[in-house]
Amino acid sequence: MSQRTPGLIAIICYKFFTAILFLLSAISIFLTLKHRQELQQFADSLELASKQGIIAWGVNKILNLNPKTLQFGGVVTAVYAVVTIIEAVGLWLKKAWARWLVIGVVGISIPPEIYELIKGFSLLKLLAFIINIGIFIYLLREVPNDRKAHQ
């Protein structure tokens, strides 16, 4: 990678943004586990206060999850956040391994994204799918340019 193109900078920014979201999600999951009792009391108070719609629904969904499942989800989310940060830093430092790591991780995620789109369409799922396809194609197209730059 000889220079950071606008496309590469956009991918790096996207990776940092998603890493932050995953990190915040992992922290939220672990805080939920730590404060499960308080969350239950909060949910009970929502029911008394005329059920606050989506908030009550979300809190009840979380409380009905097995704590081990929630803990596993938090660990997986934290690991994925770390991998995404490594990808972004590696791309920023113009490391070839980072490009291949992103191609691999994004390539692996494409079939499940297609399945999710078929199972239940949403604009957010479609947007994530389009972004990942764009990243995959962009980075694959740049590989021959890297080889020419290193010769």
Where the chain has pLDDT below 70, the residues are 1-2, 43, 46-53, 144-151
pTM: 0.78
Smallest CA-to-CA distance from 91 within 149, 147, 148, 146 is with: 146
The alpha carbon torsion through 38, 43, 48, 53 (nearest 10 deg) reads 150
Confirm if 64 and 70 have CB atoms less than 8 A apart: no
pLDDT score, position 144: 66
What local confidence, expressed as pLDDT, does residue 88 receive? Answer: 97
